[in-house]
A and B are shown apart, each in its own frame.
Chain A
Amino acid sequence: MNILVFVKQTFDTEETVVVQGGRVSEDNVRFVLNPYDEYAVEQAVQVKEEFGGEVTVVAVGQERMEQALRTALAMGADKAALVEDDGSLDEYGVAKVLAAFARRGTYDLLFAGQATVDGASAQTGPRVAEELGVPVVAAILRFTLEGDRAVVERDMEGYSERLSVPLPALFTAQQGLNEPRYPTLPNVMKAKKKPLERLTLEDLGLARERLLGRTATVECFVAPKTRQRRMLQGSPEAQAQALADELRRFVLPD
């Protein structure tokens, strides 16, 4: 099995988000491998361990993405590639770049995260699949290989389904798919020696101006919700009654 995993670096969830001049500040921020991409990498490594093959991880973006790629290598991926860009392409552009990278090899399986926890658009996986013309199943919770097909399960908001998919195909990973391994120190050391290729858009035969012009961020802002923080007093009975009275306008409209 030749497997390709798309990974991105995101803010650690514990980080406070600071907006300066309409942009989210990256100063002094701790970055991590996007949590959903951990599931994607883990699944790829498990498939490799069971069926053999090679796992490649690729990221498009700034230099700092190397850290996410190294984490993936420490989890068991074999080689990495960073397509360098300033991080300002939208999902359309990123998908074009990732697909161009995928076309350089032949992959039986492609994995992405269901979404990134920063931009959270959940677009990239399905877009890359569409660009490559391969089937896609988003937000999978179970993955097995049966011959030349993958059998996957997912939750569809009220029902779950089991799908059989011919390879090559792309899957996006939802939380619960597996238990991502923690990179051990020896594996972190080993990961430093694994190959990491640096590429430019030109190396992939892409002209940047052709990847632009779909959407653009006008500004970012924080809007803290003000909450009443009213503590209801008295016996459980009194508290319950007081709350019910407060919620009347939501529960009994008019």
Chain B
Amino acid sequence: MARNVLIFAEAKSGQIRNVALEALAVGRRLAADGQVVAVVAGSSRPDGVEALSEHGADRILCVEDAALEPYTSDAYTDGLYQVVQAVQPDAVIMGHTAIGRELAPRLAHRLEAGLVADCTDLAVDGERVVFTRPIYAGKAYERREVTGGIVCATIRPNNFAPLPADATRTVAPEPFPVQLSAPRVKVESVTSKQLSGVDLTEAKVVVSGGRGVKSAEGFEPLRELADVLGGAVGASRGACDAGYCDYALQIGQTGKVVTPEVYIACGISGAIQHLAGMSNSKCIVAVNTDPEAPIFQVADYGIVGDLFEVVPRLTEAFKRMRG
């Protein structure tokens, strides 16, 4: 069954996010012979819009308006709603990100539609669309079907592979004017956190530190390892509570959920609440002085040892490998 699918291609710091390309791949599967329309929004056009056509968009709509920078859910809901009214899609897909978690439910509700949030897989069988999503902090999964109205879904970053780039696909972005009322919510200030350049939820490699890291300085070797691997640094709540790092780094039930290719847990015991945020990682590595630490039960590779001895050597080994 052909469907027309609208993708909200989220941008961050003026750059289209990777999760937008993942959403496009989901969109293509839903669309079959239908059209996949990507919409980008901001005060100006973000970088990376060409990537949207190379990765599967049939049309690209650019909503440019001063009120769209910085993001507010008021302005974005209004803008996207107007796009939906014009495009009349059968499905709307976006990332399960800080923005997507606020925007998607508002938009779905305005459309009187259901929303399947935080999806990690999808099965399309003719009319039927069934998403898979982790529940109970990743201890189980739910297959949820859309039974009426527009198919709305948010996808968990790093779980759907973007389609291979096809440089022969070139779609000219079309301006899409919208009428926005002044947002009620006023953004007073935006403070960028000097985290590493790689977004934690989208990182292919995450190097995480726990209470075993022992101080803020103790995160330095972890950061060096993450840099060599082009990854991001994360943390347990233990490390955040102890003040070794910012809560923005926390991974777990009450922190961020990550699905990297490789998760390296250093000085983390492996409490169930921590596992909730990382247990779906493709490969898990644990470095811990305590051979009985529960984290080893869920690890693919375990190293019993002092992280301060192991991690710098790991950094060196990867540097050698990289040449």
- Determine if B170 is an interface residue (Cβ-Cβ < 8 Å): no
B184 contacts A166, CB within 8 Å? yes
What chain B residues lie within 8 Å of A160 (beta carbons)? 190-191, 193, 248
- Determine if A35 is an interface residue (Cβ-Cβ < 8 Å): yes
What chain A residues lie within 8 Å of B104 (beta carbons)? 123
The residues in B between 139 and 168 inclusive whose CB is less than 8 angstroms from any CB of A are 139-149
- Determine if B298 is an interface residue (Cβ-Cβ < 8 Å): yes
- Determine if B302 is an interface residue (Cβ-Cβ < 8 Å): yes
A139 contacts B101, CB within 8 Å? yes
Instruction: Identify which of A92, A214, A237, A251 contacts B321 (C-beta below 8 A).
Output: A251
Instruction: Identify which of B187, B200, B296, B298 contacts A163 (C-beta below 8 A).
Output: B187
With A95-B109, A127-B109, A215-B147 as given contacts, are A139 and B98 in contact (CB-CB < 8 Å)?
A: yes
- Determine if B83 is an interface residue (Cβ-Cβ < 8 Å): no
With A220-B142, A230-B301 as given contacts, are A248 and B136 in contact (CB-CB < 8 Å)?
A: no
- Label chain B's interface by main secondary structure: mixed
A17 contacts B136, CB within 8 Å? yes
What chain B residues lie within 8 Å of A154 (beta carbons)? 98
B106 contacts A136, CB within 8 Å? yes
A161 contacts B143, CB within 8 Å? no
B140 contacts A19, CB within 8 Å? yes
What chain A residues lie within 8 Å of B137 (beta carbons)? 13, 117, 120
- Determine if B77 is an interface residue (Cβ-Cβ < 8 Å): yes
A130 contacts B110, CB within 8 Å? yes
Number of interface residues of B (CB under 8 A): 98
Instruction: Identify which of B102, B113, B141, B285 contacts A243 (C-beta below 8 A).
Output: B285
A137 contacts B254, CB within 8 Å? no
B302 contacts A120, CB within 8 Å? no
Stretch at the interface among A65-73, A198-206, A221-229: A221-229
Give the complex CA separation of A164 and B184 in angstroms: 9
Number of interface residues of A (CB under 8 A): 81
Instruction: Identify which of A13, A131, A137, A175 contacts B272 (C-beta below 8 A).
Output: A13
What chain B residues lie within 8 Å of A163 (beta carbons)? 185-188
Instruction: Identify which of B114, B256, B303 contacts A215 (C-beta below 8 A).
Output: B114
A122 contacts B117, CB within 8 Å? yes
A215 contacts B106, CB within 8 Å? no
A130 contacts B105, CB within 8 Å? yes
With A90-B114, A163-B185, A236-B310 as given contacts, are A225 and B301 in contact (CB-CB < 8 Å)?
A: no
B74 contacts A239, CB within 8 Å? no
A130 contacts B106, CB within 8 Å? yes
B114 contacts A250, CB within 8 Å? no
A229 contacts B205, CB within 8 Å? no
- Determine if A121 is an interface residue (Cβ-Cβ < 8 Å): yes
The residues in B between 229 and 253 inclusive whose CB is less than 8 angstroms from any CB of A are 229, 247-248, 250, 253
Where the two chains meet, the residues of B that have a C-beta atom closer than 8 Å to any C-beta of A are 12-13, 70-71, 73-74, 77, 97-99, 101-106, 108-110, 112-118, 130, 134-137, 139-149, 184-193, 195, 199-201, 204-205, 229, 247-248, 250, 253-256, 261-262, 272-273, 276, 279-280, 282-285, 296-306, 309-310, 313-314, 316-318, 320-322
With A13-B276, A157-B97, A240-B317 already in contact, 10 other A-B pairs whose C-beta atoms are closer than 8 Å = A121-B117, A126-B101, A139-B98, A157-B12, A158-B248, A216-B145, A218-B145, A219-B142, A239-B305, A252-B321
Where the two chains meet, the residues of A that have a C-beta atom closer than 8 Å to any C-beta of B are 11, 13-14, 16-17, 19, 24, 35-36, 90-92, 95, 117-127, 129-131, 135-139, 141, 151, 154-166, 174-176, 213-223, 225, 227-232, 236-237, 239-241, 243-244, 246-248, 250-252
